[in-house]
């Protein structure tokens, strides 16, 4: 049987990285089936195109996975596929919490023939076999013989064949620039960000997050060996293609078990399996100097830190009091001294936010090493404690906000600012942090670092800018290129003709005086 695994876009924002679930389920599919992957972010298709594709390719089963913000599109696509007579199985965090919605048991239309609840590592092979035998059930849940929920162990993790998977749709380098960029450094003709997980679960239970409920508070890890082997496969492929293969360790908190993460990072170094990587780590775990040394030495380049707010009252409200805004600067300095930078994520529209929260946050961000600040709005996701609290207190203005996805739009009213003010704060944050001047300054602040670092921060900023200002199509890109032409020309000149070694500019020193500090040698 031919199986299509489809990940929808939401029609508005585009993801820069493929989703792991597709590769994982492909690797877990019983032998004898052919699995096709389509990510709507990379290959946008509308309902009629996907229905036609399913018919033409003679697909016998379609699996769709979606986050809440993609679910409306996922349902439309599912409806179109089901109309062709092909069964649709849906999985992922949204339908796990609202299975009745997907199955049409809440009074609305039915979108899925079956729903895989929770982690589907063990149920997916059974689903495929049931389709083959014409015995597809409505719900599949990972339970043990006693009927109790069972979280899959990651000790026997499948090998994802990264050396042979077709990754063409996930190349982030535009075709027009590939030939030129192949000549830069060790080769940038392809750039792919690949998701790898080393563990699952998070015990912290932040109020707005689905993870503790979905993956559980017991943390499970893969073996070091299996993670290291996966990195080696990726590394070999990048070398072969004269391109770049970076890894996003998608663990919710990569360093949740400090002893274990150190042992994994040491094994990566010992096996020479370093690739450039990014991971999510909470600020409280980055106090450990040895850990940060190992992060740098094992290829860590970007750490995603869910800072959420610079206001301790807000953090306490959302059960994230373990974040200490007073230590953010020190944490970021510690990383930057090893040339590791941070994606700092902030949420506006929290209950203690008042007018000017974006500027107050930016005022702090400007004193930190250059990074990638991102700004979102507090969003009540289904089945989170936040959703329940706001529902109980009658504060939800769009209780089923996922039925119509609107980017950067509140679904409830904050306490101390209006919904419109919250929207304006987010807009202000993005405009200021990603203006051509800010991009130029970020590049400039790394002027004593090798060219690769400056290209890296520039490209990363351009891509991240697209989270709020979607750059769909050539015209949008050309406009951004024109706005940032001075910085681009400077980098291109340097790539071809080399650079006069200049001291860090005053602007860079104003922003972040210590960026020119010599690299702390990694162990
Ligand atoms: C990596 C990640 C990202 C990446 C991008 C996603 C990507 N390309 O992988 C980045 C950092 C960009 C990101 C961004 C966002 N993310 Co995110 N992200 C994650 C994270 C940490 C890992 C996802 C993952 O790969 N997990 C591991 C795989 C194996 O798990 P899984 O996807 O759930 O798949 C399993 C099952 O769900 C099931 N399954 C899934 N799909 C399907 C399909 C079928 C057919 C079947 C049978 C089974 C099945 O089987 C899989 C194996 O067991 C999760 C948290 C988490 N731990 O999952 C949050 C998470 C998915 N993100 C979340 C959110 C909210 C966001 C943002 C909206 C945050 C924001 N405010 O900006 C943005 C949206 C970005 C966008 N443009 O859409 C939420 C989604 C909750 C929800 N109900 O929708 C999560 C769950 C975290 C949370 N805070 O609650 N994210
Ligand atoms: S630390 Fe991160 S993954 Fe864990 S509950 Fe909080 S937001 Fe979710």
Q: Distances in Å between the alpha carbon of 222 and those of 75, 205, 276, 414, 476?
A: 33, 22, 20, 40, 42
- Ligand 2 mean position to 402 CA, how many Å? 21
Nearest atom of ligand 2 to the alpha carbon of 319: 6
DSSP character string of 310-358: S-HHHHHHTT-TT--GGGHHHHHHHHHTTT-EEEEEEEES-TT--TTHH
> Residue 135 has which token pair?
């015995």
- Ligand 1 mean position to 67 CA, how many Å? 6
Using DSSP's 3-state secondary structure scheme, residue 169 falls into helix
- Ligand 2 mean position to 26 CA, how many Å? 27
pLDDT in tens, 110-144: 999 999 999 999 999 999 999 999 999 999 999 88
Ligand with an atom nearest the CA of residue 200? 1
Secondary structure tally for the chain: helices H, strands E: 21, 14
Torsion sign, CA atoms 227, 467, 305, 275 = positive
Ligand 2 neighbourhood includes 377 CB (under 6 angstroms) = no
Closest CA relative to residue 488, chosen from 449, 445, 430, 439:
439
Ligand 2 neighbourhood includes 282 CB (under 6 angstroms) = yes
- Ligand 1 mean position to 12 CA, how many Å? 17
Angle at 420 between CA 416 and CA 422, to 5 degrees: 55
Cα separation, 343 vs 326, in Å, equals: 18
Beta strands in 141-259 (DSSP E): 191-196, 199-200, 220-221, 244-249
Q: What is the pLDDT of residue 511?
A: 33
Q: What is the pLDDT of residue 12?
A: 65
pLDDT in tens, 350-390: 999 999 999 999 999 999 999 999 999 999 999 999 999 99
Q: Take atom 6 of ligand 2 and give the residue whose Cα is closest.
A: 206
Structural contact between residues 469 and 435, judged by C-beta atoms closer than 8 angstroms = no
Structural contact between residues 204 and 212, judged by C-beta atoms closer than 8 angstroms = yes
Nearest atom of ligand 2 to the alpha carbon of 208: 7
The set of protein residues with a Cβ atom below 6 angstroms from ligand 1 is 13, 15, 17-21, 24, 63-65, 67-69, 89-94, 116, 119-121, 124, 195, 197, 209-211, 215, 250, 252, 376, 381
Q: Take atom 40 of ligand 1 and give the residue whose Cα is closest.
A: 92
Ligand 2 neighbourhood includes 336 CB (under 6 angstroms) = no
Q: What is the pLDDT of residue 15?
A: 67
Cα separation, 462 vs 442, in Å, equals: 11
Cα separation, 363 vs 366, in Å, equals: 5
Q: Which residue positions in the chain have pLDDT lower than 70?
A: 10-15, 472, 500-523
Rg from Cα positions in the chain: 23
**β-pairing, 341-348 with 372-377?**
parallel
Tally of CA atoms within 13 A in the half-sphere of 291 that contains its CB: 18
Q: Distances in Å between the alpha carbon of 209 and those of 17, 93, 252, 345?
A: 21, 11, 11, 14
The residues with which 346 forms a beta bridge, in sequence order, are 308, 375
Q: What is the pLDDT of residue 13?
A: 61
Ligand with an atom nearest the CA of residue 255? 2
Q: What is the pLDDT of residue 512?
A: 32
Q: What is the pLDDT of residue 172?
A: 76
Cα separation, 278 vs 295, in Å, equals: 10
pLDDT in tens, 13-26: 666 788 999 999 99
Ligand 2 neighbourhood includes 253 CB (under 6 angstroms) = yes
- Ligand 1 mean position to 92 CA, how many Å? 8
Contacts of 421 (CB under 8 A, 6+ apart): 355
- Ligand 1 mean position to 4 CA, how many Å? 19
- Ligand 2 mean position to 518 CA, how many Å? 34
């Amino acid at each position: 049987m031919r199986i299509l695994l489809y990940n929808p876009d939401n029609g508005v924002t585009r993801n820069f990285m493929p989703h792991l679930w597709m590769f994982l389920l492909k690797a877990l599919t019983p032998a004898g089936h052919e699995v096709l992957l389509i990510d709507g972010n990379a290959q946008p298709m509308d309902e009629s195109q996907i229905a036609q594709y399913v018919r033409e390719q003679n697909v016998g089963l379609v699996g769709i996975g979606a986050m809440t913000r993609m679910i409306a599109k996922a349902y439309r696509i599912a409806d179109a596929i089901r109309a062709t007579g092909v069964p649709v199985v849906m999985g992922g965090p949204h339908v796990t919490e609202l299975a009745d919605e997907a199955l049409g048991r809440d009074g609305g239309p039915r979108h899925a023939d079956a729903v895989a609840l929770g982690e589907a590592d063990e149920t997916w092979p059974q689903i495929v076999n049931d389709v083959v035998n014409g015995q597809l059930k409505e719900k599949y849940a990972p339970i043990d013989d006693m009927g109790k929920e069972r979280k899959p162990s990651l000790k026997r993790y499948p090998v994802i064949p990264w050396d042979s998977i077709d990754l063409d749709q996930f190349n982030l380098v535009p075709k027009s620039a590939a030939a030129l960029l192949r000549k830069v450094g060790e080769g940038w003709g392809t750039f792919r960000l690949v998701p790898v997980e080393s563990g699952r679960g998070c015990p912290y239970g932040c109020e707005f997050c689905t993870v503790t409920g979905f993956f559980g508070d017991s943390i499970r890890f893969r073996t070091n060996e299996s993670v290291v082997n996966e990195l080696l496969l990726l590394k070999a492929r990048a070398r072969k293609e004269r391109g770049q293969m970076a890894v996003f360790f998608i663990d919710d908190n990569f360093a949740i078990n400090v002893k274990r993460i150190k042992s994994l990072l040491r094994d990566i170094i010992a096996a020479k399996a370093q690739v450039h990587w990014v991971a999510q780590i909470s600020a409280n775990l980055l106090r450990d100097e040895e850990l940060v040394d190992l992060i740098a030495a094992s290829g860590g380049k970007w750490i995603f830190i869910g800072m959420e707010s610079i206001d301790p009252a807000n953090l306490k409200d959302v059960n994230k009091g373990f974040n200490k805004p007073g230590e953010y600067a020190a944490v970021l300095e510690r990383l930057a001294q090893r040339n590791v930078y941070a994606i700092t994520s902030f949420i506006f529209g929290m209950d203690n936010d008042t007018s000017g929260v974006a500027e107050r946050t930016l005022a702090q961000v400007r004193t930190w090493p250059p990074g990638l600040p991102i700004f979102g709005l507090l969003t009540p996701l289904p089945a989170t404690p936040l959703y329940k609290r706001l529902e109980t207190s009658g504060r939800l203005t769009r209780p089923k906000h996922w039925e119509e996805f609107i980017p950067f739009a509140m679904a409830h009213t904050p306490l101390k600012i209006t919904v419109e003010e919250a929207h304006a704060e987010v807009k202000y944050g993005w405009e200021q942090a990603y203006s051509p001047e800010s991009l130029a300054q970020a590049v400039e602040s790394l002027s004593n670092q090798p060219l690769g670092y400056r290209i890296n921060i520039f490209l990363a900023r351009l891509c991240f800018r697209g989270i709020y200002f979607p750059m769909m199509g050539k015209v949008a890109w050309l406009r951004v290129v024109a706005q940032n032409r001075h910085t681009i020309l400077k980098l291109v000149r340097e790539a071809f003709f080399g650079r006069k070694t200049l001291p860090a500019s005053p602007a860079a020193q104003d922003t972040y005086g210590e960026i020119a500090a010599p690299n702390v040698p990694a162990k």
